[in-house]
């Protein structure tokens, strides 16, 4: 059921009535109802099959083993191999061979769980904070880095395995890191044995149920829910359920309310006035803290001052992140290709540094409009993205960071509070590289941050054809100076003390 909000969707259809309370409860408990083989590599997948075959009738086991060895000969990769043993696990359970699953878990995890539990539960004077995430995002990594510098013991639990190219970053930021290999039952068992001072849950759309799980297993720990995109703010229920399944939508809305009403504190990116309306609508009264992805000295890199445009005078714009291609009634950024075309027609150059976890392939029809732009405009490119510790260095040689597209106000059915108050992490990545930012003025809070701070310009969709003219008169040197001053004054090294103060407040009352 889980997905990120750019993934699994349903075809638009008649919206069904909401799930009952009983159906919500059943949907929540379904996540933890059945043990599945832990996610693993090819070697452990082969060991699982070999173990299963050894406990089946000889002829059946030999045939299954031959089939699987033939499957492996085709180099299927870890993900396909793991999905194949998901099916075989059903065979094991049907035959009463639960020990095969238990041995698989022991092989894959070893003593990692026991070591992690011992570390978290060790009696020390330092406050222990356990971050819980479906797949960890970079803001909690930034928070953990500076919590650690201020005497906290910070640990991370991820449901998804962290990709090999990013895991060293997270291991450097946290004192201990573990993943539960796509097993919710294992995640529940792990949380039930932990006794930190704080559970800090990354509340991501479609996985808010992790917040409920932490609340149910908290013991004496305080629980903080940190929200990114917020389901009930994003769009009305019926609009969401016209695109995603009602099971996903109704469970997420119910879990959002559960977390807001049960958490000791809530963190988000929205302005306080919007957050107050949101929480009042859920009859929640927990303290709210606004935390943004403030610059970290480790990731800040302004380059050597050299720009790509120095060679030919062509202004270089950069877009860092995933390209949105979903329907415009739920994703305003669906107008990105059209917006880029209007920029390119003015002689500007654009590079897209795409999300390194989501490579864009020319053969994918979803991105046909972007590759058509590449064919028509030599100054447009889509290039591979980089991890956060390399991003500033990659961005610094450009002239402006952008988040510009054709915002179709008539087509978009997201809520006004979403449009007015959302803050993308993208703009802070640009600031960390010393880049002025061009932002759609329709996103009122982001445009306000940029214009009030002197960091860039808010540009309405109707003015996209005048971007070259607008930036020609823009005082770039003053903007860069303002950005550097802001990063110094509002770096994570300073802002982290607001989060520490929140921890002080909520742990002191428990």
Domains 112-293+494-507 and 308-489 share a fold: yes
Tens of pLDDT, residue by residue over 293-340, are 999 999 999 999 999 999 999 999 999 998 888 888 999 999 999 999
| CATH number for the domain running over 308-489 | 3.40.50.2000
Sequential DSSP letters for 120-160: HHS--SSPEEEEEESS--HHHHHHHHHHHHTT-EEEEEESS
Q: Is 298 exposed, middle or buried (0-12, 13-18, 19+ CB in 10 A)?
A: middle
Q: Is the pLDDT of residue 11 over 70?
A: no
Is pLDDT above 70 for 432? yes
pLDDT score, position 510: 61
In tens, the pLDDT along 317-329 reads 999 998 888 888 9
Q: pLDDT at residue 134 above 70?
A: yes
CB 343 within 8 A of CB 350: yes
Query: pLDDT band at residue 14, thresholds of 50, 70 and 90?
Result: low
State the helix-helix crossing angle for 78-94 and 98-109, rounded to 10 degrees.
Answer: 150
For residue 186, what are the CA distances in angstroms to 192, 280, 494? 10, 35, 36
Q: Which residues contact 285 (CB under 8 A, 6 or more apart)?
A: 279
Q: Which residue has better confidence, 159 or 124?
A: 159
DSSP string, 385-450: ---HHHHHHHHTTSSEEEE-----TTT--S-HHHHHH---THHHHHHHTT--EEEETTSHHHHHHH
Average pLDDT over residues 182-203: 97
* Interval 210-222 mean pLDDT: 97
For residue 58, what are the contacts with CB-CB under 8 A and spacing of at least 6? none
pLDDT over 50 (residue 99): yes
Convert the pLDDT of each residue in 460-508 to its tens digit: 999 999 999 999 999 999 999 999 999 999 999 999 999 999 999 999 8
**What does the alpha-carbon distance between residue 138 and residue 392 come to, in Å, rounded to a whole number?**
14
Query: What's the pLDDT at 165?
Result: 84
Check residue 3 and give its pLDDT. 40
Residues 30-39, mean pLDDT to the nearest whole number: 93
CATH class of 112-293+494-507: alpha beta
Geometric angle at alpha carbon 355, from 2 and 9, rounded to 5°? 30
The pair of three-digit structure tokens given for residue 450, joined into one six-digit string: 């940029």
pLDDT digits (tens, 9 = 90+) for 63-95: 999 999 999 999 999 999 999 999 999 989 999
Domain boundaries, the chain: 42-107, 112-293+494-507, 308-489
pLDDT at site 1: 34
* Confidence at residue 4, expressed as pLDDT on a 0 to 100 scale: 41
């Amino acid at each position: 059921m889980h997905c990120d909000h750019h993934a699994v969707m349903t075809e638009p259809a008649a919206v069904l009535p909401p799930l009952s309370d009983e159906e919500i409860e059943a949907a929540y408990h379904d996540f933890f109802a059945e043990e599945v083989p832990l996610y693993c590599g090819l070697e452990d997948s082969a060991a699982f099959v070999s173990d299963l075959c050894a406990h089946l009738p000889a002829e059946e086991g030999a045939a299954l083993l031959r089939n699987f060895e033939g499957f492996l000969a085709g180099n299927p990769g870890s993900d396909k191999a793991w999905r194949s043993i998901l099916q075989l696990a059903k065979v094991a359970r049907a035959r009463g061979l639960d020990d095969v699953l238990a041995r698989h878990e022991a092989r894959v995890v070893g003593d990692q769980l026991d070591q992690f539990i011992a570390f978290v539960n060790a009696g020390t004077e330092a406050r222990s904070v356990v971050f819980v995430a479906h797949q960890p995002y970079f803001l909690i990594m930034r928070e953990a880095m500076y919590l650690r510098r201020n005497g906290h013991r910070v640990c991370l639990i991820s449901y998804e395995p962290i990709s090999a190219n990013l895991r060293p970053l997270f291991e450097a930021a946290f004192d201990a890191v573990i993943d539960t290999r796509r097993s919710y039952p294992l995640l529940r068992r792990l949380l039930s044995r932990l006794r930190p001072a704080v559970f800090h849950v990354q509340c991501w759309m479609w996985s808010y149920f992790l917040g409920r799980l932490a609340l149910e297993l908290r013991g004496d720990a305080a629980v903080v829910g940190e929200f990114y995109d917020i389901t009930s703010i994003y769009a009305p229920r019926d609009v969401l359920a016209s695109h995603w399944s009602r099971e996903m939508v109704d469970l997420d809305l119910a879990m959002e309310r559960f977390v807001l009403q049960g958490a000791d504190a809530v963190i988000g990116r929205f302005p306080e006035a919007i957050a107050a309306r949101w929480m009042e609508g859920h009859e929640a009264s927990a303290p709210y803290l606004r935390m943004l992805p403030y610059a970290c000295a480790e990731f800040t890199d302004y380059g050597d001052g050299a720009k790509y445009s120095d060679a030919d005078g062509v202004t270089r714009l950069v877009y860092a992140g995933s390209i949105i291609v979903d329907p415009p009634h739920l994703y305003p950024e669906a107008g990105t290709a059209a917006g880029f075309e209007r920029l390119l027609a003015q002689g500007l150059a654009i590079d897209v540094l795409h999300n390194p976890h989501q490579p864009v392939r020319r053969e994918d029809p979803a991105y046909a409009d972007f590759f058509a732009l590449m064919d028509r405009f030599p100054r447009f490119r889509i290039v591979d993205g980089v991890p956060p510790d390399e991003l500033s260095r990659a961005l610094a040689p450009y002239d402006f960071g952008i988040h510009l597209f054709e915002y179709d106000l008539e087509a978009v059915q997201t809520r006004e509070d979403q449009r007015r108050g959302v803050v993308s992490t993208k703009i802070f990545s640009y600031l960390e590289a010393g880049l002025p930012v061009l932002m759609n003025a329709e996103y009122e809070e982001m445009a306000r941050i940029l214009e009030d701070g002197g960091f860039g310009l808010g540009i309405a969709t109707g003015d996209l054809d005048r971007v070259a003219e607008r930036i020609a008169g823009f005082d770039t040197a003053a903007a860069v100076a303002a950005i550097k001053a802001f990063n110094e004054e509002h770096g994570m090294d300073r802002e982290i003390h607001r989060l520490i103060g929140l921890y002080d407040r909520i742990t002191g009352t428990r």
